Amino acid sequence: MRAHNEKKIFTLFLAILISLFMGVKSSRSFALRTLSRGDTIKNYEVPILEGNTQTMEKLCGEKGLLLVFWTTWSERSLQLITYANQELAKEYGEKGINIVGINVESQSITSGEMKTITETVERLNVSIPLGIDRDLVMYDEIGVISTPTTVLVSKELKIEGAYPGFPTAAREELKSMLNAFLGIEEKKPTEEVRYLMAKKPKNNALLFYNLGKNLYKRYVSMKDELTRVPRNAVDKLDDSIERDPDFYSPYLLKAIIFHKAKEEEKKKETLKSIEERAFSEPVEVRDLAYMYFILGMLDRSGELIVKLKEMLPDEPTVPLLEALLALSQDKKEEASAQFKEIMEKGGLPFDLAEFIDPETGGAGSAEGADMAVRLIPEKVLNISKK
């Protein structure tokens, strides 16, 4: 257990150092500490969960192999392994890229840790092959710095790319890495990715926002409630604002925190600051509309939807918010038709079927509708505890 905790602390420490050091450089530059693009990895033998030991060569697809190094105790790892299983495997498996998760839980995996891994895999319903890096041999020799980390190798086991972490932009950037390797013409990046590329938060403001967000998630209950303001989370969000007053996300999360903790005066102060900043970029307006929805300011949220239809005509989260507004106003048939159309078109950054029946577009019982109204907006804003 001590070794397990030390591994967690060491990985977190390295991840923070990386984030601080990265500055304006690409995150891919610091993915591995020993090997680089063009280097060849060994033909490792990997014990596969519920299967036989396989070599890297056998695990490779026709074109190559994407290795996802993950752990059960890293929330970003769980998000990435789910994304790799649900989206990357489906899209790139038929293009000749096999995807394999490599668990790097700890130096010597105990029976208890193995049980946790198995239970996590079952809970996430992961179907891609999952291997165990016993004694962290691959982790050390390839030079993985933090979890999660994704490494792309060719059929000849040459490293073609590597990506540390799973930030918001990772969904697009991982696909870009795979597309470049396969020679596939790039699709137009999402509005959110273009925004982050054009308006990268200054002075590590994004790092401090993420620290504040993660602290907030520790305090909010599974029922999406706060009994008090998590002061340490708000402090990190204030640090983020101080580092870059033009970065909108910490303002929004502060307003949501004060709303859930029923601190009305502080919420009003934060909303006043938001109005004064006059955030007007399309993604900023989209997230503001969702924030107002969470705060119960439905008229304000509806007003912004009108603008968003012109600003982001192809963005699926805009009609999604319309459907949520209809559902919150008990317009079930209208909401169901909108939900169904959204799910048929696809493009959301999460699986809406977790809340909505794909066939009917319905949210089920009144309790299910309430859960959809509460949790879907937080999924869009990437602040959901679940």
Instruction: Write the pLDDT tens digit of every residue in 17-36.
Output: 444 333 333 334 447 989 99
Question: Rounded distance, CA 324 to CA 207, Å?
Answer: 30
Largest pairwise CA distance in the chain? 61
Q: 0.75 cut: is pTM over it?
A: no
The residue type at 343: M
- In a 13 Å sphere around the CA of 89, the CA atoms on its Cβ side amount to 18
Distances (CA, A) of 53 to 46, 139, 225, 241: 5, 17, 45, 50
Distances (CA, A) of 302 to 79, 288, 296: 30, 11, 11
Question: Rounded distance, CA 59 to CA 65, Å?
Answer: 7
Instruction: Write the pLDDT tens digit of every residue in 69-123.
Output: 999 999 899 999 999 999 999 999 999 999 999 999 998 888 999 999 999 999 9
Question: Which residue, among 379, 378, 386, has the nearest Cα to 260 in the 3D structure?
Answer: 378
Question: Rounded distance, CA 267 to CA 255, Å?
Answer: 5
Question: Which residue, among 48, 71, 51, has the nearest Cα to 120 in the 3D structure?
Answer: 71
**Within the chain, which residues score under 70 in pLDDT?**
1-30, 186-190, 193, 197, 386
DSSP conformation class of 354: G
Instruction: Give the number of other CB atoms < 10 A from CB of residue 2.
Output: 6
- Chain centroid to CA 178: how far? 18
The residue count of the chain comes to 386
What's the confidence (pLDDT) of residue 107? 85
Question: Rounded distance, CA 311 to CA 318, Å?
Answer: 10
Q: Kindly report the average pLDDT of the chain as a whole number.
A: 88
Tokens (6 digits) for 259: 């709303």
Question: Which residue, among 139, 213, 128, 199, has the nearest Cα to 169 in the 3D structure?
Answer: 199
